[in-house]
């Protein structure tokens, strides 16, 4: 029964990871940027929901408010910093966003304090299999909201004019520019959408789990890992590997103990990269 | 050449007399020496080889833990030492302390080198940003895992043996200063010796185009691993010294501190100018002065300042001080400048 519990927990958690990873894949594919500050955007979104909870508004409304605020944070960040690293070496973007990550971490620490907090949604719990499996309703809620947002975004990217422009820019930025797409605007919108997705995920995380100013980096690493396992532009793959990662984490937590949970995630990243490197080196290729 | 000799002699004399000229800054000077070592070793990967690593912190932290563990474990049971925490149940005699330190530093330098050699084949096969993220993962994973191991203090940290009772605080400062100064001199001589051989050219070839280097018959993997092992050796040594200097080891805040030391070494090398011999030294010195100055002004806001600093340096100053000097005075760097061409460029502007 423990394994059923861990699997269910892991899948519900993994759906959240997949949502963050989707944002990561979007900006990576379109702008060729790896955003180390991704996790900190998530945590910031979480604090928005937490503050609504503090002021007596039900934190579930954070799912709507957080992405709107985070969209503007993302666009602002793009205008200030990211637009200067878009065409440069990937390492420059990694290091610059690392700086942003440290900055955000510390600013959140000042603004919200270094305590571990959560926004209590008061949704109660569901008991399955004669109380052997305990599922908080908030987890089910957050997973379904994530799926809803992901589906909306996929449809938006397929149907709308901006979505078409984003996809065109991802395929060939230069050609898109020639055909009249304002790529600068598209980049800003992409980064904004990514931040908004992080905001949704953060709000859901603050309802379901806990948030803390320094917890950002693991979320970045998780989403990076999901994207490299699934490949860019492979949405079902992102969803599946997200759930896989969630299940892995729950089992690592259960078998190794909670203190090794984050360590296991980072080690898994190293192992996946090394595995792919050996697989590709047989064909005399390398990860690009 | 003669000019260079005078410069080196002046720096050496300054280094030896510095703790007596600035007795109040002994600890700061020792930290500066450690920072220079870290920047110089990072430059072997990031500057010369083109492999931007966040993972050299792994060797630094490993060296720190190993040195302290050996120093304690040689004479007393390690588990009881860490269990007693701050309260000292065991006291090192001076002879034990120095013997332990000497053996500890050797172990702290050698074991990370072996580790680098063992993991090098797998990790260095990755390229570009995959390498960067993978090494970032390695550093954080090491911190998280060492924070869960009981015998080296787990979450509550590990107190290194206190300096024995010979000469008090002054002697302690001088001892650690000269230790770290020796490490800098050793590292600088080693790095300089490496940079004057074919090895450096091979590293540069790997940076410029690894596939072509391989096609030219260079066993790139071998040289990459050797380069990483050299880095690991000096990183471990620096870690061991720093552990003794700080006197307290925490898994994520002191040893595997990717958020501070791990970024500092990248930043210092970039600030000074990566891919140059003197760049990291200058970068580390400027960075340390800046950091200490601003840390006191911005007390509490230092990480905010650090974040802004990283963004500004990376975006607006990626060539560093040496790169800027090179653009300004190309003749000094042995570049032949065609005067007519230069004039034409100035007129165009």
CB contact under 8 A, B304 and A107: yes
CB contact under 8 A, B148 and A263: yes
- pLDDT for A190-211, tens place per residue? 999 999 999 999 888 888 888 8
B62 touches chain A (CB under 8 A): no
Residues of A in Cβ contact (< 8 Å) with B115: none
What number is the average pLDDT over the span B40-52? 88
Cite the beta strand spans of chain B per DSSP E: 158-159, 248-249
Least confident of A150-154, B24-28, B287-291, B297-301: B297-301
**pLDDT value of residue B89:** 66
B314 touches chain A (CB under 8 A): yes
Give the Cα separation of B279 and B271 in Å (integer). Answer: 8
Chain B 161-220, residues with CB within 8 Å of chain A CB atoms: none
How buried is A109 (Cβ within 10 angstroms: 0-12 exposed, 13-18 middle, 19+ buried)?
middle
Helix (H, G, I), strand (E, B) or coil at A214: helix
CB contact under 8 A, B126 and A100: no
**Which among B122, B129, B310 has CB closest to A90?**
B129
* Longest Cα separation, chain B: 76
Chain A 71-100, residues with CB within 8 Å of chain B CB atoms: 81, 84-85, 90-92, 94-96, 98-100
DSSP 8-state code for residue A211 = B
- CA of B301: which chain A residue's CA is closest? A106
Least confident of A122-131, A203-212, B194-203: A122-131
- CA of A282: which chain B residue's CA is closest? B125
What number is the average pLDDT over the span B25-50? 88
What number is the average pLDDT over the span B14-25? 79
Chain A 108-147, residues with CB within 8 Å of chain B CB atoms: 110
What number is the average pLDDT over the span B51-66? 88
Residues of A in Cβ contact (< 8 Å) with B144: 259-260, 262-263, 266
The CA-based dihedral angle spanning residues A75, A236, A165, A64, taken in that order and rounded to the nearest 10 degrees: -40
CB contact under 8 A, A99 and B144: no
Least confident of A120-124, B155-159, B195-199, B241-245: A120-124
What number is the average pLDDT over the span B320-331? 80
Those residues whose C-beta lies under 8 Å from the C-beta of residue B24, and which sit 6 or more positions away, are none
CA-to-CA dists, residue B103 to B8, B43, B68, B182, B346, angstroms:
30, 28, 10, 16, 60
**pLDDT value of residue B347:** 67
- CA A211 to chain B, closest CA, distance in angstroms equals 18
- pLDDT for A101-125, tens place per residue? 888 888 888 888 777 777 777 766 7
- CA of B126: which chain A residue's CA is closest? A277
CA-to-CA dists, residue A209 to A58, A68, A202, B20, B69, angstroms:
16, 22, 10, 55, 37
- Residue B62 and residue B266 in contact, taking contact as beta carbons nearer than 8 Å: no
**pLDDT value of residue A87:** 78
pLDDT of residue A126 exceeding 80, the answer is no
- CA A158 to chain B, closest CA, distance in angstroms equals 30
CB contact under 8 A, B314 and A224: no
CB contact under 8 A, A103 and B315: no
Closest to B56 measured CA to CA, from B238, B293, B273: B238
pLDDT of residue A264 exceeding 60, the answer is yes
Q: Percent of chain A scored above 90 by pLDDT?
A: 6
Give the model's confidence band at B330: pLDDT under 50 very low, under 70 low, under 90 confident, else very high.
Answer: confident
Residues of B in Cβ contact (< 8 Å) with A106: 301, 303-304, 307
- Residue A172 and residue A117 in contact, taking contact as beta carbons nearer than 8 Å: no
- pLDDT for A226-238, tens place per residue? 888 887 777 788 8
Give the model's confidence band at B112: pLDDT under 50 very low, under 70 low, under 90 confident, else very high.
Answer: very high
How buried is B26 (Cβ within 10 angstroms: 0-12 exposed, 13-18 middle, 19+ buried)?
buried
pLDDT of residue B252 exceeding 70, the answer is yes
What number is the average pLDDT over the span B320-344? 75
What number is the average pLDDT over the span A92-106? 87
The more confident residue out of A257 and B219 is: B219
What is the DSSP code string of B153-206?
TGGG-EEPPPPPSSSHHHHHHHHHHHHHHHHHHHHHHHHHHHHTSHHHHHHHHH
CA atoms within 13 Å, Cβ hemisphere of A36: 28
Residues of B in Cβ contact (< 8 Å) with A263: 140-141, 144-145, 147-148
Return the bridge partners of A126, or none: A135
Give the Cα separation of B1 and A184 in Å (integer). Answer: 52
CB contact under 8 A, B307 and A34: no
CB contact under 8 A, A103 and B122: no
Return the bridge partners of A253, or none: none
The two structure tokens encoding residue A204? 């859901």
pLDDT of residue A31 exceeding 70, the answer is yes
- pLDDT for A44-66, tens place per residue? 988 888 888 888 788 778 888 88
What number is the average pLDDT over the span B242-270? 82
**pLDDT value of residue B113:** 93
Residue linked to tokens 């992102």:
A238
CB contact under 8 A, A103 and B132: no
H or E element at residue A126: strand A125-128
pLDDT of residue B86 exceeding 60, the answer is no
B309 touches chain A (CB under 8 A): yes
Residue B158 has φ and ψ, to the nearest 5°, of: -135, 120
- CA B172 to chain A, closest CA, distance in angstroms equals 34
Closest to A166 measured CA to CA, from A28, A262, A56, A4: A28
Dihedral sign computed on CA atoms, order A273, A279, A282, A285:
negative
Give the model's confidence band at B85: pLDDT under 50 very low, under 70 low, under 90 confident, else very high.
Answer: low
Residue A211 has φ and ψ, to the nearest 5°, of: -130, 155
Give the Cα separation of B272 and B252 in Å (integer). Answer: 27
Residue B200 has φ and ψ, to the nearest 5°, of: -65, -40
pLDDT of residue B289 exceeding 70, the answer is yes
Give the Cα separation of B328 and B336 in Å (integer). Answer: 13
pLDDT of residue A132 exceeding 80, the answer is no
Please give the radius of gyration of chain A, using alpha carbons only, rounded to the nearest integer: 19
Return the bridge partners of B248, or none: B159
The two structure tokens encoding residue B292? 């200490």
Those residues whose C-beta lies under 8 Å from the C-beta of residue A288, and which sit 6 or more positions away, are B127, B128
Alpha helices in chain A (DSSP H): 2-31, 38-54, 62-80, 90-112, 137-159, 161-171, 173-178, 183-208, 216-230, 235-256, 261-281
- Residue B312 and residue B227 in contact, taking contact as beta carbons nearer than 8 Å: no
- pLDDT for B219-234, tens place per residue? 888 999 999 999 999 9
B144 touches chain A (CB under 8 A): yes
CA B334, distance to chain mean position in Å, is 28
Residues of A in Cβ contact (< 8 Å) with B301: 106
The answer for B164, left when phi > 0, alpha when psi is -120 to 50, beta otherwise, is beta
Predicted structure pTM score: 0.86
Give the model's confidence band at A286: pLDDT under 50 very low, under 70 low, under 90 confident, else very high.
Answer: confident
How buried is A263 (Cβ within 10 angstroms: 0-12 exposed, 13-18 middle, 19+ buried)?
buried
């Amino acid at each position: 029964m423990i394994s059923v519990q861990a699997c269910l927990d892991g899948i519900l958690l993994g759906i959240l990871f997949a949502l963050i990873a989707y944002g990561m894949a979007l900006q990576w594919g379109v702008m060729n940027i790896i955003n180390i500050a991704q996790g900190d955007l998530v945590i910031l979104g979480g604090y928005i929901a937490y503050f609504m909870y503090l002021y007596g508004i039900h934190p579930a409304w954070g799912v709507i408010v957080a992405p709107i605020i985070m969209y503007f944070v993302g666009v602002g960040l793009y205008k200030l910093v990211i637009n200067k690293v878009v065409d440069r070496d990937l390492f420059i973007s990694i290091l610059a966003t690392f700086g942003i990550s440290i900055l955000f971490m510390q600013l959140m620490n000042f603004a919200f304090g270094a305590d571990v907090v959560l926004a209590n949604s008061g949704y109660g719990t569901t008991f399955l299999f004669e109380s052997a499996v305990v599922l908080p309703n908030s987890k089910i809620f957050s997973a379904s909201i994530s799926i809803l947002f992901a589906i909306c975004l996929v449809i938006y990217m397929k149907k709308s004019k901006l979505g078409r422009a984003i996809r065109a820019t991802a395929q060939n930025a230069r050609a898109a520019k020639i055909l009249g797409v304002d790529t600068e605007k598209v980049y800003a919108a992409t980064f904004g959408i990514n931040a908004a997705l992080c905001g949704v995920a953060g709000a859901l995380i603050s309802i379901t789990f806990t948030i803390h100013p320094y917890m950002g980096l693991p979320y970045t690493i998780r989403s990076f890992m999901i994207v490299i396992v699934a490949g860019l532009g492979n949405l079902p793959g992102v969803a599946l590997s997200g759930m896989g990662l969630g299940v892995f984490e729950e089992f690592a937590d259960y078998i190794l103990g909670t203190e090794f949970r984050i360590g296991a995630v980072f080690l898994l990243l190293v192992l996946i990269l090394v595995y792919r490197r050996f697989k590709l080196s047989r064909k005399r290729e390398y990860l690009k | 050449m003669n000019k260079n000799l005078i410069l080196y002699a002046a720096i050496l004399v300054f280094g030896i007399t510095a703790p007596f000229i600035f007795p109040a800054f002994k600890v700061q000077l020792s930290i500066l020496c450690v920072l220079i070592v870290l920047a110089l070793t990072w430059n072997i990967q990031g500057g010369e080889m083109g492999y931007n690593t966040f993972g050299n912190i792994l060797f630094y932290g490993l060296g720190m833990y190993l040195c302290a563990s050996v120093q304690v474990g040689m004479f007393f049971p390690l588990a009881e030492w860490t269990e007693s925490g701050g309260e000292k149940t065991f006291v090192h005699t001076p002879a034990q302390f120095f013997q332990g330190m000497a053996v500890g530093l050797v172990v702290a330098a050698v074991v990370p080198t072996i580790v680098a050699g063992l993991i090098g084949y797998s990790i260095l096969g990755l390229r570009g940003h995959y390498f960067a993220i993978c090494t970032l993962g390695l550093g954080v994973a090491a911190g998280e895992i060492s924070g869960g191991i009981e015998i080296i203090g787990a979450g509550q940290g590990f107190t290194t043996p206190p300096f024995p009772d010979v000469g008090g605080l002054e002697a302690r400062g001088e001892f650690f200063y000269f230790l770290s100064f020796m490490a800098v001199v050793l590292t600088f001589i080693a790095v300089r010796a490496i940079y004057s051989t074919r090895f450096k050219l091979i590293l540069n070839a790997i940076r410029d185009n690894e596939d072509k280097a391989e096609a030219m018959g260079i066993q790139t993997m071998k040289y990459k691993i050797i380069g990483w092992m050299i880095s690991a050796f000096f990183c471990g040594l620096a870690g061991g010294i720093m552990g003794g200097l700080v006197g307290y080891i925490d898994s994520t805040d002191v040893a595997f501190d990717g958020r501070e030391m791990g970024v500092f070494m990248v930043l210092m090398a970039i600030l000074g100018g990566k891919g140059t011999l003197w760049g990291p030294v200058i970068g580390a010195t400027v960075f340390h002065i800046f950091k200490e100055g601003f840390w006191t002004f911005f007390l509490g806001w230092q990480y905010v300042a650090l974040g802004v600093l990283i963004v500004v340096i990376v975006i607006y100053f990626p060539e560093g001080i040496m790169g800027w000097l090179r653009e300004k005075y190309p003749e000094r760097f042995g570049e032949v400048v065609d005067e007519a061409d230069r004039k034409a460029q100035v007129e165009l502007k």
